[in-house]
Amino acid sequence: MSVTTYYTATSLDGFIADEQQSLEWLLRQDLDESGPLNYDEFFARIGAVVMGSTTYEWILKHERGKWPYQLPVWVMTTRDLPRVDGDIGFARGDVRAVHAEMTAAAAGKDLWVVGGGELAGQFADAGLLDEIIVYIAPVTLGAGAPLLPRKLDLRLEEVARNQAFTCARYSVVGRTAS
Ligand SMILES: NC(=O)c1ccc[n+]([C@@H]2O[C@H](COP(=O)([O-])OP(=O)(O)OC[C@H]3O[C@@H](n4cnc5c(N)ncnc54)[C@H](OP(=O)(O)O)[C@@H]3O)[C@@H](O)[C@H]2O)c1
């Protein structure tokens, strides 16, 4: 069965982008690309990807219109966004339908929720988020795009240092009883 993972990087105070949508604070950190919980090994098991529209627009701007993914990607939006070459589908509303389409497209491989945090929260709300892998950068930002604005219980499965980063892998146990 496909595993659905939110794989991302965060500031210590829980933001995945600053208030200007900048990742400068992240990209200037030292990182061993073949170190623990690295992106290449993670991405090798992924068969389908989902992201929100802010993330999509950030990628278009920073990759100068060249789409970086060879696999099917769903972009969640209520707007008419520009299209680029690539296997990109736009979707809106209930993520359960998107999850079912992604699972079929991934053909046994895993699913990556790129972000943002609210979108990862929608998958968690639907009971469809299995795992969170997070690279914690040694910075605080004070404000920005939230990592995961939900109350969830997690289980720490793995933790390591990758140069500047603390890296952790959690499984999602469920919503915290209030
Ligand atoms: N640190 C990292 O590793 C990392 C990883 C990923 C992203 N980022 C950055 O973090 C920031 C995240 O931005 P964000 O918090 O705004 O999140 P986002 O998920 O990228 O975008 C949120 C937008 O997606 C659309 N959306 C989400 N769920 C939807 C649904 N169910 N149906 C229809 N539309 C839906 C809505 O926009 P519209 O309907 O208005 O289009 C919503 O405002 C970006 O700057 C991104 O570049 C950082």
The residue ranges of every structural domain in the chain are 4-171
* pLDDT value of position 178: 67
Output the CA 114–ligand 1 centroid distance in Å: 9
Average pLDDT over residues 8-20: 97
pLDDT digit string (tens) for 39-79? 999 999 999 999 999 999 999 999 887 899 999 999 999 99
The first and second tokens of residue 169, run together, are 């892998």
Q: Dihedral angle at the C-alpha atoms of 49, 1, 96, 148, nearest 10 degrees?
A: -60
Best residue for ligand 1 mutational test, from 6, 21, 43, 78 (most atoms within 8 Å of Cβ) = 78
Residue 131 banded pLDDT, cuts 50, 70, 90: very high
Output the CA 88–ligand 1 centroid distance in Å: 15
The residue count of the chain comes to: 178
Q: Which residues are bridge partners to 52 per DSSP?
A: 76
Q: Is 21 in the pocket of ligand 1 (CB under 6 A)?
A: yes
Q: Is 29 in the pocket of ligand 1 (CB under 6 A)?
A: no
**CATH code, residues 4-171:** 3.40.430.10
Helical spans, DSSP H, in the chain: 24-27, 39-44, 53-62, 95-106, 117-125
